[in-house]
Amino acid sequence: MAGGIDVILQVLIWGLYAGCIYILLAIGLNLIFGVMKVVNFAHGELLMLGAYITFTFYALSGFNPYVLLAASVPTLILAGIIIERLCFRPILGTGKLNEIFISIGLIYIIQNAAALIWTDEWRIIHSPYEKITISIFGVNMPLDYLIIIITTILILIALYFFLRKTRLGKAMRATSQNRKGAMLMGINVERMDMLSFGIGAGLAGAAGTLWVVSGQVFNPYMGSIPAIKAFAIVIIGGLGSIPGAIIGGLILGIAENFAIFTLGGAWKDAVSFIILILVLIIRPTGIFGESAE
């Protein structure tokens, strides 16, 4: 393995990019779990849907793919609301096994629907900025990666303000902290479930758009590995903890890329689970997890 400081910085940048995708996925998962106490195993398929929605709008309109976040996010929010209403609400409280089977079933339904609509073939789209590189600390970086990192930060800031400063956001947080208490205070908890699932799906959709815009290929089966990693991040960061998801996503993205750089590509996925096991041994509730969880 050869490399100087500029090579290390470059690997760090790739890790930050990967971390952005994982952060958006994991926060979505955490939101859903935090409010509904439901683990959505089909979360990776929502990332995949976000990718395909972006591709479809791009093929139809030719618009800048970054602008198409304004299409993919609302579409996925709507999809999330529909999924919550039709699939999870009827079985909520009937047992964890039912929730697990519903979300596993959704995986196959969404994958096969996507394969039927868009076919199995892999797709790729090109960013309008793909030929532009900028220099940061002496390291050449494609402009797209800077845009992706900035976009992720903006989404997180928007989410922060929503959860902290808006009535709806506070109601969601109240529901996640104490569902019965929230009900007693007049909060419509079922509406909060719908909202949290919708926003969670929207975040997965945003991750899908950013995935596509970075020039990675996508197909109907791409969601399973990122979803598994999102679960690992949620556990590493702490169940229900949004700061934990951010730190966990960054740790994982950077660790994976340094594992590829030092040990080889075969270690890329293994390192996620090594970190997960280490965190579970040292701090079972996760970095920011609460012991009550």
Partner 1 sequence: MKKEFLVICLLCIGFALFAGCTEQQAATDELKIGVVASMTGPASTTGKDIWQSAVLAADEINADGGVYVTDLGKKIPIRLIQGDDESTREGGQKAVSRLITQDNVNFLVGGFSSAVVSAHQSIVAEHTVPYIISGASSSAVSRRTDIDTSTMFFHRPNAEDSAEAIMLFIDREMRPAINDKFGFSADRPLRLAIIYQDTSFGTGQRDAVHNHIKNYNLPIEVVAEASFKMGESDFRTALTSIKAANPDAVYTVTFLNELVPLIQQGRRDVGLDTIFFAIECNDDPDFYKGVGTYGEYMMLQSRFSPYAAPKETESAHTAFIQNFDNRWNGFPGMMGVATYEAVFIGAQAVENAGTLNKDAVRDALNDLEIPQMIEVMKDGTIVFSDDFRESKFDLYLAQLKWDQDAGETRPVIVWPDSLKETDFVLPDWYTPGQG
Q: Please report how close the Cβ of residue 174 comes to partner 1 at its closest, in angstroms.
A: 39
SS3 of 133, please? Answer: strand
83 contacts: CB under 8 Å, gap ≥ 6: 42, 106, 197, 201
Contacts (Cβ under 8 Å, ≥6 apart) of 222: 44, 47, 48, 51
Instruction: Count other Cβ atoms within 10 Å, centred on residue 109.
Output: 14
Give whichever of 197 and 218 is closer to partner 1, judged by the CB atom.
218
Cβ-based nearer residue to partner 1, 162 or 221: 221
The count of C-alpha atoms lying within 13 angstroms of the C-alpha of 237, restricted to the half-sphere facing its C-beta, is 27
Question: Min. distance of Cβ 56 from partner 1 in angstroms?
Answer: 18
Catalog residues that contact partner 1 under the rule CB under 8 A. 1-4, 7, 10-11, 14-15, 18, 115, 119-122, 124, 126, 130-131, 133, 140, 142, 145, 215-219, 221-222, 257-258, 260-261, 264-266, 268-269
Within 13 A of 145's CA, how many CA atoms are on the CB side? 20
Q: How far is the CB of 228 from partner 1 (least distance, A)?
A: 13
Nearer CB in complex with partner 1: 38/48:
48
Q: Residue 126 or 283: which CB sits closer to partner 1?
A: 126
As a whole number of angstroms, the distance between CA 35 and CA 197 comes to: 9
Cα–Cα distance between 216 and 41 in angstroms, integer?
Answer: 23
Least Å from the CB of residue 69 to partner 1: 20
Torsion angle in degrees (nearest 10) through CA of 153, 154, 160, 163: -140
Nearer to partner 1, 130 or 190 (CB): 130
Closest CB 59 distance from partner 1, rounded Å: 14
* C-beta pairs of 170-174 under 8 Å, 24+ apart in sequence: 172/31, 172/35, 172/196
Instruction: Output the smallest distance, CB 265 to partner 1, in A.
Output: 4
In terms of CB distance, is 23 or 38 closer to partner 1?
23
